[in-house]
Amino acid sequence: MKHILVTGGSGLLAQQFKTITARDFNFFFPSRAEFDLTNSSLMAQRLEELKPHIVINTAAYNLVDRCEIERELSWSVNATAPQTLAELCAERNISLVHYGTDYVFDGAKQSLYTEWDTANPLNHYAAGKFAGEQAVLRASPQHLVLRPSWVFDWHPTQTKTYIHTVLKAAREGRTLKSTTDQCSVPTFATDLAQWTLELIRQKAGGLFHAVNDDGISRFDWTKIILEEAVTAGLLAHAPPVEPVLSSFFNSAMRRPNYTVLSNAKLAKVLGHNLGSWKGGLRKMLAQMK
């Protein structure tokens, strides 16, 4: 049996590993205090004590706008910590799984991004995440980096996801506005966790784009959330959504407007299609009900 240490144990993705039944894996979910990613000596001590075969790092500072303000903190979590952890794991022959982001691309391509496309981060969050990705890949060929996008799922305590925000606004009768010029791929966290374990079983290393099928605009994603919520009995009716451009929100931070990732490499390695995110959305809404 393989022993797996999962960081970020209170987060959305870590929660999905807690719900997976896998007879070939034994999971540890240390608290932040028990495995502080900014404390290298503590991490080294815990790795020696627990002796995991694999570490899955789900921890990240992903408040994108706050990263522009809290630059030192976000860089320490998204760039420095993954590098330190990757090196500590490599020294002990421990495989590390780390999660990057679609935000490493600038959106200029306007067609599916592959793992071989050149990254060009537009903001501090993306720059930190890209630095973390590269550090992990440099540390060992057996380390694994997965890039998801627009990750969603049900969580027992986290109720501030985009889906929650949309449903709350609809229930309160507020006007919904959503961007037509921001496109990516919603990714069901339960699927992402399953793909991760499949790759671990194959002893895969390197970089993979880990997203469901079907890129979509933020506007259409919002409309589908509302329609599915009606079907699930969470809303009486789907309110209209006003289409706007990203410029409407006057954000000072640059964001890529197109980050639809190709999942062809991952699908080929796993030997099956990765499937639509629509099934995951329905499962999440059913749990919310």
| 46 and 64 Cβ atoms separated by less than 8 Å | no
CA gap 254, 123 in Å, rounded: 6
- The residues annotated as belonging to the active site are 125
Q: Which residues pair with 208 in a beta bridge?
A: 146
CA gap 279, 256 in Å, rounded: 27
Q: Which residues make Cβ contacts (< 8 Å) with residue 285, sequence separation at least 6?
A: 163, 228, 229, 232, 234
CA gap 231, 250 in Å, rounded: 34
Cα angle for residues 203, 207, 209 (degrees, 5° grid): 110
CA gap 186, 214 in Å, rounded: 8
